[in-house]
Amino acid sequence: MLLRTTMFLLLGGLLSACVSTGHQDPMKTSEGRDGARDAYIQLGIGYLQKGSTEQAKVPLKKALELDGSNADAHAALALVFQTEKEPKLADEHYRKALSARSDARILNNYGSFLFEQQRYAEAYARFQQAAEDNLYPERSRVYENLGLTSLRLQQRPQAQEHFDKSLRLNRNQPRVLLEMAQLSWEDRQYVPSRGYYERFLTVGKGAQDARSLLLGIRLAKVFEDHDRASNYAMQLRRLYPGTPEYQQYLAEQK
């Protein structure tokens, strides 16, 4: 289960380090050093987005040589080490980033890392901190992550509250819609479950995995839509024959 992390782009001062006025060395001014630092961070993020983590480290190291406490450089390095499966180093750089500047993006990414490490209570606390920023443009993702973490903590009502909040912020989220459909089905709230499921299909443009197909089969049977149940069963058997969902489907036919 993957949580939502957020890449970021730096929008200001990227060229200032490359421009000099007269014969003045830009690296001897604070403005020039800041511009160079930001340009190095942007370069590192570019490499990271392309999957080149080894190359990303070089400019990010240079950025920290210019500003050893820069939050964005540490946050980017944390993502690099997280990608490389170096959890100790990733944790170290996330903490350094947050000690320099606590913001919702870094908190959300750190929470996602902690979730990945199965440190669910810690992850939940970080997501809660991130959710406190009412102006964070991707706040719906934070509530999605809060909901998923609540499920791992065996807090179903809490998870439903977080998913509902996420959909209030952004109603077009396929993962959240599927989770709400599943939770409603488990509670035997079949009409709401079907509503969430149909919205999931619309928003996700029909893309399905084994889990959603199994839920679709179950709902189709409840509402006696035999053609849809048969169609989804065929897709599940053809595309995901080795999954636990297919084995569950077979068990339910007995």
pLDDT at 101 over 70: yes
Tell me what the mean pLDDT of segment 148-160 comes to.
98
What are the C-alpha distances in Å from 32 to residues 15, 65, 101, 146, 243? 9, 14, 22, 40, 55
pLDDT of residue 2: 62
d(CA 104, CA 93): 16
Q: Tell me the residue type at 14.
A: L
Spatial contact of 207 and 217, defined as CB atoms under 8 Å apart: no
pTM: 0.87
Q: Tell me the residue type at 96.
A: K
Please identify which residue in the block is written with the tokens 């040589």. 65
Please identify which residue in the block is written with the tokens 């540490």. 74
CATH class of 34-101: mainly alpha
pLDDT at 8 over 70: no
**What average pLDDT does the structure give for the chain?**
91
Q: From the centroid of its chain, how far is CA 229?
A: 31
